Amino acid sequence: MTTYAFPPPALPTVPVEGSSDVFPVRRILCVGRNYAAHAREMGGDTRDPPFFFAKPADAVVPLPTTVPYPSATSDLHHEIELVAALKGGGENLTPEQAIALVFGYAVGVDLTRRDLQGAAKAKGQPWEAGKAFDASAPISAIRSMGGPPPQGAIFLSVNGEERQRGQIADMIWNVAEVIAKASQLWRLEAGDLIFTGTPEGVGPIVRGDRIEGVVEGVGQLSFTLA
Ligand code: MN
């Protein structure tokens, strides 16, 4: 029997809508620049394909609760995203195999310390300080549903004013392609969450702001920055 040197940390979890079950989070992968209009607003070349980065599993913040304003930034940005939650794994999957792994979908916000991310980009340094900080992944309950996501709108408001709006259909890599491409780089497993990228309109938020996000057919989230 395993005995730990100290009590092991609790497994991060996300509620499952309409169920007493919770979804155990293994890893969080994120896609960068998966909507052309957002790639352009970030100064990217839209001929470059999307790419992956990661957050630690314990970055999830199951809602409702307040989200702490993080340390070391004066330019925290919101990025509303569709999140795919996996119930199975594999590697080198076809898009058809990949989409069969979907347990359900959630609405997430990829909180970003844009100033630290920009400094890292300028120096060719890693993005963790900008992207993978504590509580950087507020997320709604997961709606259990298989297959591709509903092809609706995705939008976010701050203090009631709309800031971001896009269409899930506008993703450069669709969900099946995102999961298949991720599986070429990592062995995926049940419990993995994939943030699938944000539409245009990202911008700063400050303490006291109320953030509300919707992915039509998937759910909504809201939180206040404390
Ligand atoms: Mn993002």
Q: Which residues of 136-152 are buried (b: 16+ CB within 10 A; e: fewer)?
A: bbbbbbbbbbeeebbee
The whole-number pLDDT of residue 47 equals 80
* Rounded Cα–Cα distance for residues 142 and 195 (Å): 13
The whole-number pLDDT of residue 220 equals 98
- Distance between Cα 81 and ligand 1 center (Å): 7
Residue range 84-104: mean pLDDT, rounded: 98
The whole-number pLDDT of residue 69 equals 98
- Distance between Cα 8 and ligand 1 center (Å): 30
The whole-number pLDDT of residue 46 equals 78
- Distance between Cα 31 and ligand 1 center (Å): 6
For all residues of the chain together, what is the average pLDDT? 97
Are 106 and 14 spatial neighbours (Cβ–Cβ below 8 Å)?
A: yes
Distances (CA, A) of 134 to 61, 102, 113, 162, 192: 9, 26, 11, 26, 18
- Distance between Cα 101 and ligand 1 center (Å): 22
Residue range 198-221: mean pLDDT, rounded: 98
Give the pLDDT band of residue 45 (cuts 50, 70, 90). confident
The whole-number pLDDT of residue 92 equals 98
Residue range 150-161: mean pLDDT, rounded: 98
- Distance between Cα 10 and ligand 1 center (Å): 26
Kind of pairing between the strands at 192-195 and 27-32: parallel
pLDDT at 139 over 90: yes
Handedness of CA 144, 201, 50, 115 (dihedral sign): negative
Q: Which residues surround ligand 1, an ion (CB under 5 A)?
A: 79, 110, 198
DSSP line for the chain: ----SSPPPPPPEEEBTTSS-EEEP-EEEEEES-BHHHHHHTT--TTSPPEEEEE-GGGEEESSS-BPPPTT-S-EEE-EEEEEEES--BSS--HHHHHTTEEEEEEEE--EEHHHHHHHHHHT--SHHHHS-TT-EEE-PBEE--SSPP--EEEEEETTEEEEEEEGGGBSS-HHHHHHHHHHHS-B-TTEEEE----S--EE--TT-EEEEEETTTEEEEEEB-
Could you give all domains of the chain from N- to C-terminal order, each with its CATH number?
13-224 (3.90.850.10)
> 187-199: per-residue pLDDT in tens?
999 999 999 999 9
> 47-78: per-residue pLDDT in tens?
889 999 999 999 999 999 999 999 999 999 99
